[in-house]
């Protein structure tokens, strides 16, 4: 049997981390089994869905490398199919027109609440005479189509791939609305029609959909087709475990992570570890390895919380494992407006071990591309004695006398010698020099940076530093 999975985002917001997470599992499972992964855009909530959000989701999935094999299918372009299927159920007496007004339903619910009964539709329109239905339809009375819950059905049981056996009492589900008069189908119905039409064999989705599953199973039964297998994984929690991952504790938009210099392969790797434990507790796994090793049965039943430090660490690991050429290329793509793009290649070996994300490159190396601003207090913080200026003058002299052509191999020795002659510590000397060159106390390796700056620029910078002391 061909394995067919789907990812069914609603385009009511930008692609967020939870959606990327939702795409990962059906993707991995389909790929692992040489199956088909389908992308379906569930845009029937016409008030909240937009084309822009759908495009943002699609772009994000492409960027992550979670490429689908079928779709994207937009539900709003498939309304005639849903109508046909709803009419089929009506014809078979498995669904019916309900003409109850909002007000009537509201009153009914109030009464039920007051009597402490479960608030489900009474079934008033279940058995209206044919003539009455015809007459109401032709005179344009507002209606919905409801699914006729099979009275004798009893418990709906299913074996969840992650949670195991789950059962619901079907009689508590009521006669659910499946379509409105305007022809727009409701969630549970449209999902079933599509899962059926797309021959989905495995539905992997968040456990917020467990309670929808019995309704969907009943609809599959009404269409005389066995339902797909379901697997409901836990949703990601906020870092402080205060609830489902939300904007409350930081951005959840994938595009913000992208703009911040996270790599798609690191995000995939990280998301995979949030929901699944790979054999041998490995932490760094390529997408190909994930596909190979993935097993639904090893998915976590308990919800994991977002862990930004872990993602930072994984991203850093990916950066370090890249060749210099590849990192250069990624940085050039990431920084299309960088003032000196050609210089990025020279700088990459100096910073590869020091950045966790691509955006760290800019603050760490900016001084190489633009003249630093100096602050006297920074120098005073390193060297506390009165003769700071004299010491800096001497450092400039050493610098000026360094042999040309300018070669980093001799810098260290020259300044060590200077430190010894002046009775300074090597650390102090190097730090003064570092601030003189970069304006900051933390920088990539000092002598390599001087090499990249060149002799004239290095001397000019020290002189400028001197002028503020
Ligand atoms: N559109 C639904 C969601 O975004 C899909 C649920 C499902 O996979 O059935 O939650």
Whether 205 is in the pocket of ligand 1, judged by its Cβ within 6 Å, is yes
Q: Could you give the CA distance from residue 360 to residue 315 in angstroms, rounded to a whole number?
A: 12
pLDDT digits (tens, 9 = 90+) for 145-194: 999 999 889 999 999 999 999 999 998 899 999 999 999 999 999 999 99
pLDDT value for 341? 80
450-469: average pLDDT = 94
pLDDT value for 338? 83
| Residues noted as catalytic | 247
| CB within 8 Å of 104: residues ≥ 6 apart | none
193-219: average pLDDT = 97
24/250: higher pLDDT: 24
CA of 208 to the centre of ligand 1 (A): 9
Q: Is the dihedral of CA 83, 168, 296, 59 positive or negative?
A: positive
Ligand 1 atom with least separation from CA of 208: 10
Parse the chain into domains and list their residue ranges: 4-73+187-233, 80-180, 247-322, 323-365, 371-467
- Token pair in block for residue 30: 């389909």
Q: Strand 95-98 relative to strand 70-74: parallel, antiparallel, unpaired?
A: unpaired
Is the distance from CB of 1 to CB of 201 less than 8 angstroms?
A: yes
Looking at the predicted structure, is the pLDDT value of residue 342 above 90?
no
0.85 surpassed by pTM: yes
248-273: average pLDDT = 95
Whether 10 is in the pocket of ligand 1, judged by its Cβ within 6 Å, is yes
Reported confidence tier of residue 330, pLDDT bands at 50, 70, 90: very high
Looking at the predicted structure, is the pLDDT value of residue 400 above 80?
yes
- Percent of the chain with pLDDT strictly greater than 70: 100
The structural architecture, per CATH, of the domain 371-467 is: Orthogonal Bundle (1.10)
Ligand 1 atom with least separation from CA of 203: 8
Q: Could you give the CA distance from residue 229 to residue 210 in angstroms, rounded to a whole number?
A: 12
Whether 26 is in the pocket of ligand 1, judged by its Cβ within 6 Å, is no
pLDDT value for 340? 76
pLDDT value for 262? 98
Which protein residue's CA is at the shortest distance from atom 6 of ligand 1? 8
pLDDT digits (tens, 9 = 90+) for 422-444: 999 999 999 999 999 999 998 89
Looking at the predicted structure, is the pLDDT value of residue 205 above 80?
yes
24-38: average pLDDT = 98
Please spell the DSSP secondary structure of 143-175, one letter per residue.
-EEEE---TT--EEEEEETTTEEEEEEGGGS--
The structural architecture, per CATH, of the domain 80-180 is: Alpha-Beta Complex (3.90)
What DSSP element (H or E) covers 231?
strand 229-233
Whether 228 is in the pocket of ligand 1, judged by its Cβ within 6 Å, is no
CA of 270 to the centre of ligand 1 (A): 22
Whether 244 is in the pocket of ligand 1, judged by its Cβ within 6 Å, is no
Query: Cis bond leading into 138, ω under 30°?
Result: no
pLDDT value for 171? 87
Reported confidence tier of residue 144, pLDDT bands at 50, 70, 90: very high
Q: Could you give the CA distance from residue 214 to residue 168 in angstroms, rounded to a whole number?
A: 7
CATH of domain 4-73+187-233: 3.40.50.620
pLDDT value for 95? 98
| Three-class SS state of 205 | strand
Beta-strand (E) ranges in 320-462? none
What DSSP element (H or E) covers 73?
strand 70-74
Q: Specify the DSSP class assigned to residue 185.
A: B
Looking at the predicted structure, is the pLDDT value of residue 6 above 80?
yes
Q: How far is CA 65 from CA 6, 13, 61, 267, 355, in A?
A: 16, 20, 6, 11, 23
pLDDT value for 406? 92
Reported confidence tier of residue 118, pLDDT bands at 50, 70, 90: confident
Ligand 1 atom with least separation from CA of 8: 5
Which protein residue's CA is at the shortest distance from atom 3 of ligand 1? 9
Looking at the predicted structure, is the pLDDT value of residue 223 above 90?
yes
- Token pair in block for residue 61: 């999935």
Domain 247-322 class in CATH: mainly alpha
pLDDT value for 151? 86
Ligand 1 atom with least separation from CA of 19: 4
Look over the chain and give the mean of its residue pLDDT values, rounded to a whole number.
95
Residue among 68, 198, 209, 229 to mutate when testing ligand 1 (max atoms within 8 A of CB):
209
Looking at the predicted structure, is the pLDDT value of residue 224 above 90?
yes
Pick the range with the lowest mean pLDDT from 27-36, 132-141, 274-283.
274-283
368-391: average pLDDT = 94
| Three-class SS state of 14 | coil
Could you tell me which of 145, 153, 171, 150 has the C-alpha nearest to residue 91? Answer: 145
pLDDT value for 284? 97
Reported confidence tier of residue 213, pLDDT bands at 50, 70, 90: very high
């Amino acid at each position: 049997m061909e394995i067919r999975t789907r990812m069914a985002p609603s385009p009511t917001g930008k692609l967020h981390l939870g959606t990327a997470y939702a795409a990962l599992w059906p993707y991995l499972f389909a790929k692992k089994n040489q199956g088909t992964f389908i992308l379906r855009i569930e845009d029937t909530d016409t008030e909240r869905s937009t084309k822009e959000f759908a495009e943002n989701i699609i772009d994000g999935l492409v960027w992550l490398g979670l490429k689908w094999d079928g779709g994207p299918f937009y539900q709003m372009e498939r309304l005639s199919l849903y109508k046909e299927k709803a009419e089929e159920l009506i014809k078979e007496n498995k669904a019916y027109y309900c003409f109850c007004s909002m007000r009537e339903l509201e009153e009914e619910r109030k009464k039920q609440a007051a009597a402490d009964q479960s608030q489900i539709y009474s079934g008033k329109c279940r058995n209206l005479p044919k003539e009455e239905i015809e007459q109401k339809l032709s005179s344009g009375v507002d209606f919905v189509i409801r699914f006729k819950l099979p009275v004798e059905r009893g418990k709906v049981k299913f074996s969840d791939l992650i949670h195991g056996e789950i059962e619901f009492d079907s009689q508590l589900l009521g006669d659910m609305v499946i379509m409105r008069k305007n022809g727009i189908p409701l969630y549970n119905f449209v999902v079933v029609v599509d899962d059926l039409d797309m021959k989905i064999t495995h539905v992997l989705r968040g456990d917020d959909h467990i309670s929808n599953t019995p309704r969907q199973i009943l609809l599959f039964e009404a269409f005389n087709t066995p339902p797909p297998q379901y697997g409901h994984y836990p949703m990601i929690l906020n870092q402080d475990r205060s609830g489902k991952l939300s904007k409350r504790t930081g951005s959840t938009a994938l595009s913000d992570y992208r703009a911040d210099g996270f790599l798609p392969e690191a995000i995939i790797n990280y998301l995979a570890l949030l929901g699944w434990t790979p054999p041998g507790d490995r932490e760094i796994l390529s997408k190909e390895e994930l596909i190979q090793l993935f097993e639904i049965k090893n998915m976590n039943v308990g919800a994991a919380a977002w862990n930004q430090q872990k993602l930072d660490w994984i991203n850093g690991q990916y950066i370090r494992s890249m060749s210099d050429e590849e990192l250069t290329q990624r940085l050039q793509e990431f920084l299309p407006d960088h003032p000196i793009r050609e210089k990025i290649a020279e700088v990459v070996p100096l910073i590869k071990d020091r950045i966790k994300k691509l955006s760290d490159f800019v603050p760490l190396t900016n001084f190489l591309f633009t003249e630093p601003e100096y602050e006297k207090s920074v120098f005073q913080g390193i060297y506390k004695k009165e003769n700071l200026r004299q010491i800096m003058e001497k450092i400039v002299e050493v610098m000026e006398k360094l042999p040309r052509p300018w070669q980093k191999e001799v810098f260290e020795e020259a300044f060590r010698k200077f430190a010894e002659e002046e009775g300074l510590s090597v650390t102090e000397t190097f730090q003064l020099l570092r601030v003189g060159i970069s304006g900051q106390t933390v920088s990539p390796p000092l002598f390599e940076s001087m090499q990249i700056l060149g002799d004239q620029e290095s001397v000019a910078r020290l002189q400028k530093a001197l002028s503020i002391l």
